[in-house]
Amino acid sequence: MNDINTYFQELIENKKWKALRLEVLNLEPFQVAEVIENLSEEEQIILYRVLPRELAKETFKHLSSDDQEHIIESLANNVKKITDLLNDLDPDDRTAFFEELPGEVSQRLIQLLSHEEREIARRLLGYPEDSIGRLMTPEYVAIKPHYTVQQALEHIRKFGRDSETLNVIYIVDNRWNLIDDIRIKELILAQPEQRISEITDNRFIALNAYDDQEVAVKAFMDNGRVALPVVGYDGTLLGIVTVDDVMDVAEEESTEDFQKFGGTEGLDLSYTKTSLLEMIKKRSGWLVILFLGEMLTASAMGHFDEEIAKAVVLALFVPLIISSGGNSGSQAASLIIRSLALGELTVKNWWYVMKKEIFSGLALGAILGIIGFIRILVWQEAGFYDYGEFWPWVGISVAVSLVFVVLWGTLSGSMIPFILKRMKMDPATASAPFVATLVDVTGLIIYFTIAALFLTGKLL
């Protein structure tokens, strides 16, 4: 790809416009988008301006939101070019673009659309944010059940040119209620004189325009479709959603979950478009909560200051104990949150998960406990550090503490997402820092309690 970029840069630098136009015609839209994204801002505009109208429309869909906005800004003095571009875009892609822009900019651009396209844009933007209605396009082909196959194919030839996809044709009644869908392959293979009603089974999958977009993601994953119809509450066919739009939503949802799991609120815009003030606001909330939580760690250590004063050696293993519990909790939370997101687990599976994590926690804790004891043994025997005459009991205290702290971390990390899900909250809120902070405080209590059991009358 670097060679292609260099070649296009040379054509632009040498002002070989004719050769540039010919070369872009040999590329697919996604390839042109990749070239544009690797050029300087000035070169991006030059290359985009030489694209034929249809190629420009298709390429625009593959650009990042930042590059799309930059292209629109560069065309600010060419109202006709902007108007043609926006009118040519598929309604769902245009809606996604408008959503990335500030409200006043979107409204100004909407005014440039034709009357028909303006009505479509306003209708799609009128659905709740993050609803399936925002994703759908009204560009599809629908036929009636009384059509013959021959009539249906003629109808498709007449009206299918502007359809988003022709893989699936939708069947509606006189009130435009969806009653079935049929693959184009079945139509082509059927006898011309057969009625559509004779080759359908009235079994179909449809999305509701007001449902959350995550519902669409799951529906596509479960059914392996390239497009699904979207209906209103009364069953009226409103539009279709295609798999490329759903893939974009899945990527956005995954990004938001990663951000939340890292201990920050999900960003409304991309990192580069989020202002410094907004970034601080998104990150400060969780940091303050976690800081207050970590203050409890200091309080917990203060509660055991007498034990620490008598056996300073116990303080050496505090980072080891609390980090092991936090790490095990973060691991468990990651696995459960992802499984809940994929639909592999539901709230009803909490007991199954708890039983599994109890055994996992004990096994993992035992592994770390054995390693911890061996470490103390080796250091003592090799003379790297003198843990005192009661070093075996110190080693046992650390080993047993690791078993219970890791067990507690595993259970906490696996159960908190279920609790949040039950409370109708996003399980991703059970971020790694949150789980780690919780286990830090409780891990200290577990550690010093177990140490007191084994070392009382010896070091304590």
Distance CA 224, CA 246 (A): 12
What's the pLDDT score for residue 429? 62
User: At which residue do the structure tokens 């790809």 appear?
Assistant: 1
Structure confidence at residue 104 (pLDDT): 55
Taking Cα atoms as reference points, which of 164, 275, 183 lies closest to residue 223? Answer: 183
Give residue-wise pLDDT tens across range 265-279: 555 555 555 666 766
Enumerate residues 6+ apart whose C-beta is below 8 A from 310. 459, 460
Rounded to whole angstroms, the Cα distance separating 335 from 414 reads 8
Residue indicated by tokens 């096994």: 363
Helix axis angle for 79-88 and 53-62, nearest 10°, is 70
pLDDT of residue 154: 92
pLDDT value of residue 58: 81
Cα Rg of the chain (Å, integer): 31
Q: What is the DSSP letter of 387?
A: -
- Residue ranges of the chain with pLDDT lower than 50? 263
Q: Are 245 and 96 in contact (CB under 8 A)?
A: yes
Pairs from 148-153 (Cβ < 8 Å, separation ≥ 24): 148/192, 148/193, 148/194, 148/195, 148/196, 149/187, 149/190, 149/191, 149/192, 149/193, 149/194, 149/195, 149/196, 149/199, 150/192, 150/193, 152/187, 152/196, 153/187, 153/188, 153/192
Quick one: pLDDT at residue 261? 53
- Between CA 284 and CA 161 the distance in angstroms is 51
Q: What is the DSSP letter of 212?
A: B
CA 439/CA 409 separation, integer angstroms: 6
C-beta neighbour count of 127 within 10 angstroms: 18
Answer whether 0.95 is exceeded by the pTM: no
Do residues 297 and 431 touch, judged by C-beta distance below 8 A? no
